[in-house]
């Protein structure tokens, strides 16, 4: 049952919400803006309503996977299912394993695992984006902060390790953004 739950979670994570929103409007979102299927690129190219739908859909995928794991197997399985959903969003089978940067799906996963830490990271994201106007910088800082929130909130050791793994994936997926930030060429929000 556990293996099936992980596979289903990966498939849930693989649902390309941003791509589907673009297709509904007759475009391939991967051919516009940053080429990413995530919330920020959808928002910039399809507008705030589509961006909000992408955010809700991608966050919902992560939350659904954690809840599935919790229902079917408890503590350990919820972590495996959450990681599977993140992997599915990042490397979706339906789009040739080229997907998003995991921030919204990761938010959903952490909302399911430890809502207080997720809300603290989201608050940090808001502060960084408001101060510097870089969504990518806010996303990186929020992801890297998750292990710290796990420590502060005295979460189980496996949650800390999980948060470290997710932070590494998030930084890896944002490497092009990091290069642009360092070069001063990253796009700001208006």
User: What pLDDT band is residue 1 in, cutting at 50, 70 and 90?
Assistant: confident
pLDDT of residue 10: 98
Distance between CA atoms of 179 and 122, rounded to whole angstroms?
23
Instruction: Say which residue the tokens 């910088």 belong to.
Output: 137
Q: What is the pLDDT of residues 155-178, one digit of tens each?
A: 999 999 999 999 999 999 999 999
The predicted structure's pLDDT at residue 128: 98
Mean pLDDT of 125-147: 97
The structure's pTM equals: 0.95
Of the pLDDT bands very low, low, confident and very high (cuts 50, 70, 90), residue 73 is confident
CA atoms within 13 A on the CB side of 101: 27
pLDDT of residue 49: 97
DSSP H helical segments within the chain, as ranges? Answer: 2-14, 17-24, 39-46, 48-73, 75-90, 103-113, 115-132, 135-152, 157-173, 175-183
Q: Position of tokens 């394993």?
A: 97
Backbone angles phi, psi at 92, to 5 degrees: -75, 135
Mean pLDDT of the chain, nearest integer: 96
Q: Inform me whether the pLDDT recorded for 75 exceeds 80.
A: no
Q: Is the pLDDT of residue 117 over 80?
A: yes
Model confidence band, residue 190 (pLDDT cutoffs 50, 70, 90): confident
Res 20: pLDDT: 97
Distance of alpha carbon 98 from alpha carbon 89, whole angstroms: 9
* Neighbour-count burial of 31, counting CB atoms closer than 10 A to its CB (0-12 exposed, 13-18 middle, 19+ buried): exposed
Quick one: average pLDDT of 115-121?
98
What's the pLDDT score for residue 165?
Answer: 98
Look at residue 74 and tell me whether its pLDDT is greater than 80.
no
Tell me: the pLDDT tens digits for 78-110?
A: 999 999 999 999 999 999 999 999 999 999 999
Predicted pLDDT of residue 189 = 87
pLDDT at 79: 97
């Amino acid at each position: 049952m556990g293996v099936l739950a992980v596979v289903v979670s990966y498939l849930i994570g693989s649902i390309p919400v941003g791509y589907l929103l673009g297709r509904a409007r007759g475009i391939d979102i991967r051919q516009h803006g940053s080429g990413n299927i995530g919330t920020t690129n959808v928002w910039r190219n399809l507008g705030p309503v589509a961006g909000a739908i992408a955010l809700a859909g991608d966050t919902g995928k992560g939350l659904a996977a954690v809840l599935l794991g919790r229902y079917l197997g408890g503590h350990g399985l919820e972590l495996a299912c959450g990681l599977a959903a993140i992997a599915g969003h990042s490397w979706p089978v339906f789009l040739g394993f080229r997907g998003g940067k995991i921030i919204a799906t990761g938010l959903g996963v952490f909302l399911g695992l430890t809502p207080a830490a997720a809300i603290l990271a989201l608050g940090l994201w808001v502060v960084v984006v408001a101060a510097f106007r870089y969504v990518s910088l806010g996303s990186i800082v929020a992801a890297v902060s998750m292990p710290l929130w796990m420590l502060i909130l005295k979460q189980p050791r496996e949650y800390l390790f999980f948060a470290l793994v997710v932070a590494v994936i998030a930084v890896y997926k944002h490497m092009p953004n990091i290069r642009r930030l360092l070069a001063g060429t990253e796009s700001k929000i208006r």
